[in-house]
Chain A
Amino acid sequence: MPGAIETYFDKLERTRVWRSIFRSGKGTSTLHNALAIQQNVFLHLFPTKVRKRMLGLGATWYLGTLTLGTFIVLVVTGILLMLYYHPSVPRAYSDVKDLQFVVSSGLFLRNLHRWSAHAMVFLAFAHMFRVFYRGAYRTPREFNWVIGVVLLLVTLLLSYTGYLLPWDQLAFWAITVGTNISSAVPLIGDKIRFMLLGGHLVNANALLRFYVLHCVILPLTAVLFLAVHFWRIRKDGGLYVRETEPGVTSAEKQLSNQEQGSR
């Protein structure tokens, strides 16, 4: 029986469709494995080679991956929520109520979105603390650190713009206060506020702007910077390993020194 399955997979892997998708071909050599990563649109951002030790919990606590995980959950639940939500003053609040009371598992969907959003902010911070205290932000990874800071800002903005969408009192006043803070910027403060709200008051225009920011502009920005973020991990020599840590080979130390020297 196992033989039959193997034969079946063998046949499958020889089909044209399979070979067109997984172009690295069959084989377990280092080259094959490297090609499998490199030639896949989703995986090519990642290093072709990872130290096995870095996949353990202790190395990163998976904080970055978990942040990405919450982001994916947010995208999926967010798209589902968009099916029920109208960004208009008369409908917004009652749509949220409908989600809560009549949409099947609507409350679950909404709560999942909300709690994932909280978790994402928390995890992004935790990720950054971890990176900071391990010193992983240092050369040659300082550029990726900056991208990380941008991603944190995007995360916070996503959280903030999503806050207005239920259109309840909490949302209204939070956005009123928040945009008033932005008007404290010297000289152009009032212009910034006007631009954010699309007017002078938190009203229909503000709701629409925050909706577009929350559902289109900010997620696209996040995806863009995420891609750069992951790609930079590969370009900066994979996940950070401390030289004093056991298991670091002399060749790796040399590589690390070279990199530092070259910058």
Chain B
Amino acid sequence: MQTNNKGSFSSIRAFLCDPFRMFGVVSVILLLLLTVAPAKDYFSQWRSYQRQYLNLIRNRGDAVTLLRHFQGGIQQIWIPQLGVIDRCQTCHVGVAEASLADVKEQPFRAHPPIPHKLTEFGCVICHRGQGAATTVSEAHHSKMAGEEPILPMRYIEASCGQCHHEPLEGTPKLNQGRLMLARYGCVNCHAVTLPDGSTMQGTDNPPPLTHIADKTTREWIYAWLKDPTSYSASSTMPNFLFSDADASDISAFLIANSTPQPGDSMAYSATSSGSASDSSAGAVLYGESFCASCHATQNEAGNLVGGDLGPELTNVGTKVKPGWLMAWLKDPHTYDPTTKMPQYRWTDQQLQTLTAYVAGKTDPDFVANVHLQPATQAQIAHGKKLVIEYGCASCHEITGIPKPDNFAPDLSRIGSKPLVQLIFLPGMEQSLPAYLAEKIRQPRAFGPSLHMPKYSFSTSQIEDLTTALLSFTNRSFTLPPNLQIPAVQDTNYRPAGQAGQLMANINCLSCHRINGNGGTMAPDLSWEGSSVQQPWLDTFLKNPNTLRPTLIRRMPKFNLTDSERTVLTNYMMTVYQTPAFERDEMPLSGYSPDLVEKGRQLFYSKYACQSCHIVNPNQDKGYIGPTLTTVGARLNAAWIFHYLKDPQAIRPETIEPNQHISDDDAQALTAFLMTQKTIAGQGAK
């Protein structure tokens, strides 16, 4: 046995040591190995998918069409100017076949309908992944430098945002996320430069802290810093997770750093206006002034009711000193020249009443347990250091502390950040969306030295923000300019002269948009002078009533004097005119009864305007458009005529349909509408 073994060993040795045989053996092995290469090519993943696809379509009714469309081999979409080489259709064979919409199994499902052609942009621009790849793992999951894994579908709207910088109808998450970036002041610390070179601006309107001691107490600042949401649920101020000592020091510094501002406090006596009748009078005045159009309060059920243009007022009495509040209500510009709050012209008695009512909205628990020792110089100095360290001046104006530049990382291209540059928490999903979401959810978990504050966002809000952040990609900067659709930027339009001062004073632009500048809550006034008749405008400013009964937010009454109204209406009638037509080219009255009757018929039958509008409140039920009961006293005839002809030419955003009304019909309708000067059925007053 042993000898046998020995013999076989030596024979193998002899065999191997013979160079010629060795060469032969090695050559054969090499040849066998070489056959692996074409075999691997033949049994590739994509060939297998194409075979499966052919099996799938064979038994379908539309097999002939599908087979005719089918091309074997590697398929690609090649768009050189976009840098797109997408071979996704090699496996996703039926992605462009609308008739395969019923197929549920991937990779054969048809693409759902979208506004773009698949061949126009390819796949990777929206879905990410590696377009050049022809294997599933490489195409979908590659995380090598410069390659991105597939974007989860819940963030897909981010891809639209690479080109579309204006809000789109189909991208609610993206739109909301972008609004939040501005509304929650993210962009105050993090610079976001858009491809057109503009930077995103915050809309959170953080108050200046230069005269904070006039407005509130150190105790309130302390409690607010510790947890802003316990004061107001809708706070846009985040929680910086300060320690008790740090919050105390910052509050000490802010109070010590505050300088008094002449005129931002008034003598307010609680005794003269503390009675119950005053309280109800205050509520009435609060309601009449439409404070709730901008300010929200929490009702008993815990729901916020009211607008979000100004801060929530549920517990405002806990925060502000009554003397300051009264001065603020008298003229908010004294304390904050850039405020969006209009100056109402209330009488002193009204001011007392309203102050008593608003200051009565308190939450005594909020500062009840705050007992701060008088601040030492060391505390104040430490507070200042913290204020600088945490970048408070990025949002708030603070005396002696300049606004820091580039305080937080620039987010202009955050959506393309390579995974290798991210530091993940242990156990979390290793992807960019997951990282962004987690960073927003618990920013301080990523390192003890980080200063990013914590917002109390819901999961869906975080998803919206993440979507918006993911839209800031490298690609959005390298796209050809003709593909960039920029957002409408506010102009720096300001009305001029005496009227301009008045309009700044009542802050028309907080709600109304004029010549591309201002809010969007109320109608655009750029062409108001062409639109309305001066007497109506004057009456409206004197006592605004709503044109749209279904709206909650309404135009407040600013108590303007007669001369102020004259200045304002003269200016508006003269300046805010459209170049599209001459305002007075059609008369306001005097149309022939025949024409009026024809217009009435057209209104009710051919164009069925009563579906949306009300002319006769007794019979019409349309609530979608504004009521037209007194339209003849409100609008100019030429405006009505041209508006009927092409509504979008005058107001591009209006939902009024363009019915391509002929000149004759439009004239008849105008004549009919111009007769609607008083509410039908009530007779002339």
Tell me whether A57 is interfacial, beta carbon within 8 Å.
yes
Which residues does chain B contribute within 8 Å of A97, judged by CB atoms?
A: 130, 132-133
With a cutoff of 8 Å between Cβ atoms, the chain A residues found around residue B37 in the complex are 105, 108
Within 8 A of A (CB), among B174-206: none
Per the bound structure, the CA–CA distance linking A101 and B658 in Å amounts to 53
Choice from A56, A101, A104, A169 contacting B146 with Cβ under 8 Å: A169
Chain A contacts with B in 98-120, Cβ cutoff 8 A: 98, 100-102, 104-105, 108
Is B339's beta carbon under 8 Å from chain A?
no
A27 CB–B CB distance under 8 Å: no
Pick out which of these stretches binds chain A: B14-22, B369-377, B481-489, B591-599. B14-22
Would B41 and A105 count as touching, CB distance under 8 A? yes
A 50-78 to B, binary, CB cutoff 8 A, 1 in contact else 0: 00000111100000000000000000000
Residues in B neighbouring A100, C-beta threshold 8 A: 133, 138
Q: Does B408 have its Cβ within 8 Å of any Cβ on chain A? A: no
- Tell me the A153-202 residues at the B interface (CB within 8 Å): 168-170
> Does A205 make an interface contact (CB < 8 A)?
no
Task: Give 1 or 0 for each of B436-472: 1 = CB within 8 Å of chain A CB.
Answer: 0000000000000000000000000000000000000
Q: Which chain B residues (15-68) contact chain A, with CB distance < 8 Å? A: 16-17, 19, 22, 36-38, 40-41
Which residues from chain A contact B133 at a C-beta distance below 8 Å? 97, 100-101
Annotate B79-92 by CB proximity to A: 1 below 8 A, 0 otherwise: 00000010100000
Query: Is the pair B145, A104 in contact by a Cβ cutoff of 8 Å?
Result: no
- Which of A56, A101, A102 lies at the interface centre, i.e. has the most chain B CB atoms within 10 A of its CB? A101
* A94 close to B (CB within 8 Å): yes
Inter-chain CA distance A94–B147, complex, in Å, is 12
Residues of A within 8 A of B134 (CB): 101-102
* Bound form: Cα–Cα A108–B135 in Å: 15
Inter-subunit contact B17/A108 (CB<8 Å): no
Interface contact A101-B38, CB-CB below 8 Å: no
> Given A101-B134, A101-B138, A102-B74, A56–B19 Cβ distance below 8 Å?
yes
Which residue of chain A is the closest to B80 with respect to CB atoms?
A90
- State A105–B40 Cα separation when bound (angstroms): 8
Shortest beta-carbon distance from A236 to chain B in Å: 22
Q: Which of B16, B40, B87 contacts A108 (CB 8 A)?
A: B40
Least distance between A228 CB and chain B CB atoms (Å): 25
Q: Find residues 121-139 in chain B having any chain A CB closer than 8 Å to their own CB.
A: 130, 132-135, 138
Residue of A nearest to B85 (CB): A94
CA distance in complex: A254, B195 (Å): 84
Min CB distance B241 to A, Å, is 36
Q: Are A104 and B19 in contact (CB under 8 A)?
A: no
Q: A169 touching B38 by the CB < 8 A rule?
A: no
In the complex, what distance in Å separates the CA atom of A55 from the CA atom of B135?
A: 46
**Known contacts A94-B132, A169-B145, A169-B146; is-contact A101 B87 (Cβ 8 Å):** yes
Whether A101 and B135, one on each chain, are in contact in the complex, defined by CB atoms closer than 8 angstroms, is yes
Return chain A residues, CB-CB under 8 Å to B41: 104-105, 108
Which residues of A have CB within 8 Å of B40?
A: 105, 108
With a cutoff of 8 Å between Cβ atoms, the chain A residues found around residue B130 in the complex are 97
Looking across the interface, which residue of chain A has its beta carbon closest to that of B17?
A56
A97 to B130, CA, bound (A): 10
- Enumerate chain A residues within 8 angstroms of B17, measured Cβ to Cβ: 56-58
CA distance A168 to B41 in the complex (A): 25
Smallest beta-carbon distance B554→chain A, Å = 59
Q: How far is the CA of A68 from the CA of B264 in the complex (A)?
A: 91
**Of all chain A residues, which has the CB nearest B22?**
A57
**Chain B residue at minimum C-beta to C-beta distance from A170:** B145
- Give the CA-CA distance A102 to B40 in the complex, in Å: 13
Q: How many residues of A contact B (CB 8 A)?
A: 17
Contact at A57–B132, with CB atoms within 8 Å?
no
Q: Is the CB of A101 within 8 A of B16?
A: no
CB neighbours (8 Å) of A168 from chain B are 144-146
- In the assembled complex, the CB of B29 is this many whole angstroms from the nearest CB of chain A, namely 14
Closest chain-B Cβ to A83's Cβ sits at a distance in Å of 16
A105-B37, A169-B145 known; A57+B87 contact, CB < 8 A? no
A104 to B73, CA, bound (A): 11
Q: How far is the CB of A217 from chain B (nearest CB, A)?
A: 29
Residues in A with CB closer than 8 Å to B36 are 108
A168 to chain B, nearest CB (A): 7
Shortest CB distance A64–B (Å): 14
CB-CB < 8 A to A94: which residues of B? 85, 132
Nearest B residue to A169, CB-CB: B145
Q: Which residues of B contact A170 (CB under 8 A)?
A: 145
C-alpha gap A102/B41 in the complex (Å)? 10
Kindly provide the distance from the CB of A101 to the nearest chain B CB, expressed in whole angstroms.
4
Chain B nearest CB, measured from A73 CB (Å)? 10
Smallest distance from the beta carbon of B14 to chain A beta carbons, Å? 11
A105 in contact with B146 given A56-B19, A58-B17, A97-B133 (CB within 8 Å):
no
Chain B nearest CB, measured from A77 CB (Å): 11
Q: Report the minimum CB–CB distance from A7 to chain B (whole Å).
A: 25
Q: Is the CB of B87 within 8 A of A102?
A: yes
Whole-angstrom distance between the alpha carbons of A105 and B39 in the complex? 9
Chain B proximity of A5: nearest CB distance (Å): 20
In the complex the two chains form, is A101's CB within 8 Å of B132's CB? yes
A66 vs B448: C-alpha distance when bound (angstroms): 56
**What's the least CB distance linking B232 to chain A, in Å?**
48
Residues of A within 8 A of B16 (CB): 57
CA–CA, A58 to B138, complex, Å?
Answer: 45
Distance (whole angstroms) from the CB of B531 to the closest CB of chain A: 55
CB-CB under 8 A from A55, the residues of chain B are: 19
- Which residue on chain A has the smallest CB distance to residue B132? A97
B143 to chain A, nearest CB (A): 12
Nearest-Cβ distance from residue B403 to partner chain A, whole angstroms: 35
- A18-64 residues at the B interface, CB under 8 angstroms: 55-58
Bound CA span A97–B124, Å: 15
Q: State the Cβ distance, B136 to closest chain A Cβ, in Å.
A: 12
B135 nearest CB neighbor, chain A only: A101
- Inter-chain contacts of B87 with A (CB < 8 A): 101-102
B residues in contact with A56, CB < 8 Å: 17, 19
Q: Is the CB of B38 within 8 A of A104?
A: yes
Inside 8 A of A105's CB, which chain B residues have their CB?
37-38, 40-41
Closest to B134 in A: A101
Shortest CB-to-CB span from A222 to chain B, Å, is 23
B132 cross-chain contacts in A, Cβ below 8 A? 94, 97-98, 101
| Chain A residues within 8 Å of B146, by CB | 93, 168-169
Question: In the complex, A93 Cα to B85 Cα: how many Å?
Answer: 13
Give A111's nearest chain B residue, CB to CB: B37
A249 to chain B, nearest CB (A): 21
Contacts of B22 in A (CB 8 A): 57
Q: In the complex, what distance in Å separates the CA atom of A102 from the CA atom of B78?
A: 14
Contacts of A102 in B (CB 8 A): 74, 87, 134
- A169 to B144: give the CA distance in the assembly, Å: 9
Instruction: Collect the chain B residues with CB atoms within 8 Å of residue A104's CB.
Output: 38, 41
- Alpha-carbon gap, A244 to B66, bound state (A): 80
Taking the closest CB of chain B, its distance from the CB of A184, in whole angstroms, is 27
How far apart are the CA atoms of A9 and B228 in the complex, in Å? 101
Q: Which residue of B lies closest to A106 (CB)?
A: B41
With a CB–CB cut-off of 8 A, which chain A residues contact B138? 100-101
Nearest first, the 4 closest Cβ-Cβ pairs linking A and B are A169-B145, A108-B37, A97-B132, A101-B134
Beyond A101-B132, A105-B41, A170-B145, 9 additional pairs, beta carbon < 8 A: A55-B19, A57-B17, A58-B17, A93-B146, A97-B132, A101-B133, A101-B134, A102-B74, A168-B144
Question: What are 7 of the A-B contact pairs (CB < 8 Å)?
Answer: A55-B19, A101-B134, A101-B135, A101-B138, A102-B134, A108-B41, A168-B146
